[in-house]
Each structure stands twice: as structure tokens, then as C-alpha cells.
Amino acid sequence: MTQDLAALQQRLGHRFAQPALLQRALTHRSFGADHNERLEFLGDAVLNLVVSALLYQRFGGSDEGDLSRVRAHLVREDSLHRAALTLGLPQVMRLSEGEARGGGALRASILADALEALIGAAFLDGGYDAAQQVVGRLFGELIDSAEVERFSKDPKTELQEWLQARRLPVPAYRIVATRGQAHAQTFEVEGSVAALGLAERGEGRSRRAAEQQAAARLLEGLKASDRPGSPLRS
């Protein structure tokens, strides 16, 4: 066990009784056959379960739709990517030389998948309680500070309504790149508002996820510019 992996376990709040699970969770398919995709599949389900349980406790008066929207925000690729960076996963990922040279250790989709794989590995290693502890450590602060009202609409819907309220055309989305094999593709999408000369890109494991990320980035920039005296302000 290297010092980097020992430090990672400390940050996770779980020490693996089966270190091989930890190694597998950090192994991209480009590195070898014993990669993390099966653990990612499991971790995705475990993450959704644990976050659902935490949200159920946190928002006692909220309905299914509200809880689903908050959960979708918490487990989306952006959130997983940020958590993976906080954990320092780029320093411990196992990638092929080609993937590493291409910047794979910082790619959002690879890091998000690895984080889910870590959660799946913790579940196999220590059961639900271990996975709950890891997820709580990673997302507990976000859940405690979350407000249902903030997530009433997804970014694409909010962006469209923001533009329509200012009598501007709705955005357009187009796929600019796809990477990976058919069963594990990553989509890169560009969202644009031609009337304002604005464009942003998003990435995700589905076209919809990539579009949502692009829309969120466009919306963030537009809101920042929506100040008194700005031409974007109605």
C-alpha cells in the first residue's frame, strides 16, 4: 500500500480490508482487464440509494419530485468530478500511457466514474454502513446546505425560460465529439445562444447530461452578466 493510497483512504474515511478493491476502483479500462467498470455500475446504484436516504431524512416535507431534482443535482457528473478532485483522484488513477498523455487523469467522465467505483468498492468491502460513511463524508455538507427551491428546474429548462423572458431565441445544442466504445461513450455538446454570440461546452455519459452541463454553464455566465446597465438585462 503506497502512501498516496493510504492518504486517500484517510480522506475517504474508510480503510479497505481488501486493498485489491481499492486498486480496481482506480483502474481505467485502458490500463488493463481488471478495470473499474463493474464497480462503477454498483457504485452508481449505491450512491443513489444513500443520497436518497439522506435526502429523505433531510427534507421531511418534500415530495418525490423535489427529492428527485435535488438528488439529480448532487449525483450529476459535475458534482462527482469536483468531489473526485477534492479527494485527489488524478494522482492515483491507473491509466494507459496514451490515456494519461491525453489528459485522462483530469477528464470529468473518468474521474466521476472512478468516484462511483470507489463507492461500490467501499460497499463490497464494508457493507452499506461503510458506503454510507463514504458518501456522507463526500456529500454530507452539500446535502445539509441544499435547498429544494434551488433545484426546481433543470438547467436546460431554466436557461430556455431565462431567454424567453428577455424575448431572446432559445439555445441550440449540437454534438461536437464522442469518445469511447459504444457501451461507455462520453458525449461533448456545444450549447449556443446565437443572438448573444455565446457558446459553452458540456460533457457527459449521455447527450442529455452533456446538454444539461452546457446549459448550466451558459446560464451561469448569463446570470453573472445580468446586472443594471448590462445589455443582457431586460
**Catalytic site positions:** 44, 116
C-alpha to C-alpha distance for 78 and 144, rounded to whole angstroms: 18
Other C-beta atoms lying within 10 Å of the C-beta of residue 141: 10
* Cα 206 to Cα 71: distance, rounded to the nearest angstrom: 18
CA distance linking residue 133 with residue 123, whole number of Å: 10
The number of residues making up the chain comes to: 234
Q: Are 147 and 58 in contact (CB under 8 A)?
A: no
Please check whether residue 193 is in contact with residue 218, taking contact to mean a CB–CB distance below 8 angstroms: yes
Cell numbers 502512501: residue: 3
